């Protein structure tokens, strides 16, 4: 788009948000983000349908699958204006941003017809069944298993997933499970689509230090996925799972950064109000946070504009490590700006948000790949360094020590 078209589209999005994020939806402004995801769930589901009715879901999807086929520039504008207006955390994010694109790329025709329209319409919601108690950053260690029912062809699933965002509010879950007995690592895995409301599924919410419980443990004890609800062939689960993760760091990163900017603005407002801004070290940390956020934006634009070239791949590989450490430090800054008031439960909106920011951001450098895992990825995939020795390799005695 040229500058005039970009301004016109930005105005269109901003005007729609102003008109629709009002009335009963007004209370959703700046709600439902990380650390606040269990807020106003039913109203946020209504909001998904409000977005869908005006064509504001699945913007980058091809038209034949219900999307609008908008350009990267247009999608960036939408996410920026959505966040600028205080648009709530999306209940449909996992469906729209993760499983939907995966089904478009790898799903059967029947799977696309069954699942994509409901994601576009905001009528079905998805959870992600990857992490397990012994398979977090080491995802290839998943132990959840599945087998074919010889009578029906259905997949019977046993095992456990954990840290499953909003599973208790979701309709479906995609599950990475071991379908080949005795297999190890990324071999012998399958990628299943499984309804959550059925016998054999138990969901237990996990209450966190923030007081919220958007995460869950999900137990499978004979739960069923239909015979044709496997994506790809049996044993191709790792390929599908990795492709799905590749969709995770797209244009929504710019919306994420707009939310970060709102958090920083809240910190600045509180620092001015309570006098913390008079502290030179606080002012310096605020300036560093602002500069870091600008650097993050530049990296994201390079990542989105570079398609599949080497610089773009490297930009994508460093993104999670960079933003999670930046955001964790922002949480520390929020607590220091509150001072001793951070030690008591806050009733005011700004104080409550900064407390949530501090508590929840402690997890940023752990989930979705810990710092240690991210640094290994950067070293090996971006810099071409040798793979880190596995633990069993690193403890073998040498000739000198034997």
What tokens were used for 118?
């409901």
List the helix and strand counts (H, then E) for the chain: 13, 8
Measured CA to CA, the distance from residue 60 to residue 57 in angstroms comes to: 9
Cα–Cα dist 364/361, whole Å: 5
What does the DSSP 8-state code read for residue 128?
E
Strands 201-206 and 189-195: unpaired
Distance between CA atoms of 89 and 33, rounded to whole angstroms? 5
* Residue 344 backbone phi and psi in degrees, to 5: -125, 155
Angle 83-86-89 from CA coordinates, rounded to 5°: 75
Residue 102, burial from CB neighbour count under 10 angstroms (0-12, 13-18, 19+): buried
| Bridge partners, 179 (sequence order) | none
Q: Which residues neighbour 74 within 8 Å (Cβ) at sequence distance 6 or greater?
A: 1, 9, 59
Number of neighbours of residue 134 by Cβ within 10 angstroms: 11
Do 128 and 215 contact (CB within 8 A), yes or no? no
Q: Scanning the structure block, which residue is given the tokens 């030179």?
A: 280
Known catalytic residue: 46? no
User: What is the three-class DSSP state of 335?
Assistant: helix
From 248, 263, 347, 372, active-site residue = 248
Largest CA distance in the chain: 75
202 Rama sector, left if φ>0, alpha if ψ -120 to 50, beta otherwise: beta
Checking phi first, is residue 384 left (phi over 0); if not, alpha (psi -120 to 50) or beta? left
- Which of 39, 19, 131 lies closest to 89, judged by CA? 39
- The DSSP secondary structure of 2-15, one letter per residue, reads -HHHHHHHHHHHHH
Which active-site residues does the annotation give?
248
């Amino acid at each position: 788009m040229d500058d005039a078209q970009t301004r016109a589209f930005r105005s269109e999005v901003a005007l729609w948000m102003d008109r629709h994020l009002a009335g009963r939806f007004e209370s959703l402004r700046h709600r439902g983000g990380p650390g606040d995801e269990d807020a106003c769930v039913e109203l946020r589901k209504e909001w998904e349908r409000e977005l869908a009715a005006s064509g504001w879901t699945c913007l980058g999807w091809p038209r034949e699958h219900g999307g609008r086929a908008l350009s990267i520039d247009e999608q960036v504008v939408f996410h920026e204006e959505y966040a600028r207006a205080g648009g709530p955390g999306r209940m449909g994010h996992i469906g729209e941003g993760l499983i939907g694109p995966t089904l478009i790329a790898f799903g059967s025709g029947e799977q696309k017809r069954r699942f994509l329209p409901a994601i576009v319409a905001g009528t079905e919601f998805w959870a992600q069944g990857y992490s397990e108690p012994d398979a977090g950053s080491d995802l290839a260690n998943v132990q959840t298993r599945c087998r074919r029912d010889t009578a029906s062809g259905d997949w019977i699933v046993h095992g456990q997933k954990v840290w499953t965002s909003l599973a208790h509010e979701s309709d479906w879950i995609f599950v990475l499970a071991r379908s080949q007995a005795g297999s190890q690592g990324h071999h012998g895995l399958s990628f299943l689509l499984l309804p959550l409301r059925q016998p054999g599924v138990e969901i237990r919410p996990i209450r966190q230090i923030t007081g919220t419980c958007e995460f869950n443990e999900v137990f499978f004890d004979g739960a069923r996925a239909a015979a044709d609800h496997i994506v790809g062939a049996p044993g191709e689960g790792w390929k599908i799972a990795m492709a799905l993760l590749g969709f995770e760091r797209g244009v929504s990163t710019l919306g994420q950064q707009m939310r970060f900017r709102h958090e920083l603005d809240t910190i600045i407002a509180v620092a001015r109000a309570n006098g913390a801004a008079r502290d030179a070290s606080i002012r310096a940390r605020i300036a560093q946070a602002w500069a870091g956020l600008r650097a993050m934006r530049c990296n994201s634009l390079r990542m989105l504009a570079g398609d599949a070239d080497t610089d773009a791949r490297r930009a994508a590989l460093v993104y999670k490590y960079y933003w999670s450490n930046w955001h964790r430090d922002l949480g520390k800054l929020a607590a220091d700006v509150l001072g001793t008031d951070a030690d008591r439960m806050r009733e005011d909106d700004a104080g409550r948000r900064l407390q949530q920011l501090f508590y929840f951001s402690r997890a940023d450098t752990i989930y979705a790949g810990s710092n240690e895992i991210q640094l290994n990825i950067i070293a090996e995939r971006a810099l071409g360094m040798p793979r880190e020795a596995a633990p069993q390799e690193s403890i073998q005695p040498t000739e000198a020590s034997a």
